[in-house]
Amino acid sequence: MKLRLWSWNVNGLRAVLKKDFINIIQESDLDIIGLQETKLQAHQIPDQMQELDEYYIYWSHALRKGYSGTALLSRIKPLSFEDSFGVEEFDTEGRINIAEYEDFIFFNIYFPNGQQGGERLDYKLRFYDKALEIMQEKRKTGKMILVAGDYNTAHKEIDLAHPKANENTSGFLPIERAWLDKIVDLGWVDTFRDFDSSAEQYSWWSYRTYARERNTGWRIDYFFVDKEHRNQITNAGIRQDVMGSDHCPVFVEITLP
């Protein structure tokens, strides 16, 4: 069986629905889509989403209105779905989807932004560590583990347009990048870099200064897979042609036994 999966920070689902979102999803023929930053409460889910009736849809909402939020759209019904890490400080912002299927487990995560440092940077790093703990625990199942989402950190200098200018900016701080080094050292594979080593491959652009038009961006959206199953990833990439958000979708194609 072959499956096509997307991860996309839509920066407001209601906003992107006005920008051809339904047609984009339907025409792309996707099996699973993880959305981040939906910015919805449960009572605000747009009726338009009913047009995607071929998908089971699971939501996680932040307590704070108009903030964060994630959603999982899946043509295959998961065996189970979780929207928490079991830690209150991480479970109130709607950042977590974990869906278990027969042959794999899919994480759709909207990792925190470290902002200007201080408490939110500390929060981000604690969230990272808890995510890794759960990733490693799920890995013990022997199933393929896919961890998709907006990680809010560019890993290497090649992954942003101006690395030197951003050395002291959250999203490219050494302490944030070190966590990505750590997961790689533990055997998690950046699927995109397995297929493409080229520069200027970005997934997010600031709305300011026409950054997307100039391709002055950051690659902060990823699919990581456990190294034991990397051979089941048949393709990975970035859909820079898909508009509607300040992020574009990233994708993998997988083959299941």
What residues are labeled active site? 150
Q: How many CB atoms lie within 10 A of CB 183?
A: 20
Q: How many CA atoms lie within 13 A of 102 on its CB side?
A: 5
Q: Which residues make Cβ contacts (< 8 Å) with residue 3, sequence separation at least 6?
A: 31, 32, 76, 253, 254, 256
Structure letter (DSSP) for residue 139:
H
Q: How many CB atoms lie within 10 A of CB 85?
A: 18
Where helices occur in 57-117 by DSSP H, the ranges are none
Q: Which residues pair with 62 in a beta bridge?
A: 93
Closest C-alpha among 83, 49, 41, 43 to residue 66: 41
What distances in angstroms separate CA 255 from CA 4, 26, 103, 191, one per listed residue?
9, 21, 10, 14
Q: How many helices (DSSP H) and strands (DSSP E) are in the chain?
A: 5, 12
CA-atom Rg of the chain in angstroms: 17
9 residue type, one letter: N
